[in-house]
Amino acid sequence: MTEAQATPSPTDAATFWGLVWLIGVALLGLILLLTGLTGRPPERNALTRVDHVGPLSHTMPLVTYTRGKRKGTYRTQKIPLTVPGHGFFEVSPPPTLWIDDIDNMRHGQRVQFLVDPGTRMVFEATSGDRTLLAYADSLANRRRRSTGLIVAGLFCIGVAGLHAFSLRKAV
């Protein structure tokens, strides 16, 4: 074996790291795509109805998030509920949404929640003829987030595909 055959060339290293980058971007794209697809909001009839009689105890923690270089906070509501068939746990509205007048629940006031037990999220809250949190608002919030993840995943997969094409031409 000659010394020229045993020594890797700089193009071999570039191809190796290009392949590692390609696999990483493709995996990231698949993860984002699958997260977006599984994060689609459920249909209204798939949600669990929970009836509660006021007053309603709740906490309002501050949630911190990071999206790229942007950092931010929003306040949410954590409401302990007993969900039929799923037990007792805390639920909250989708990020940045709010259940109005939750602090002003009277003793004996009936509130109906539409809850997704899998995500522990409240999609609608009504009391009598008043809507405290609209299903349409929750649906739009979840769709916007899900669609963003799907688009980012498809973009990463597209970039990986273009990179694979350029790697193939280089070899």
Asked if residue 88 has pLDDT above 70, the reply is yes
Q: Are 166 and 125 in contact (CB under 8 A)?
A: no
Confidence of residue 47 (pLDDT cuts 50, 70, 90): very high
Residue 94, Ramachandran bin (φ over 0: left; ψ between -120 and 50: alpha; else beta):
beta
Tens-place pLDDT, residues 103-115: 778 888 898 999 9
Q: What is the predicted pLDDT for the residue at 35?
A: 92
**What does the angle CA 139 – CA 137 – CA 148 come to, to the nearest 5 degrees?**
50
Q: Say what the pTM is.
A: 0.71
Tell me what percent of the chain is helix, strand and coil, each rounded to the nearest 5. Answer: 45, 30, 25
Whose CA is closest to 154, among 32, 21, 11?
Answer: 32
CA separation for the pair 2, 7 (Å, rounded) = 9
Confidence of residue 9 (pLDDT cuts 50, 70, 90): low
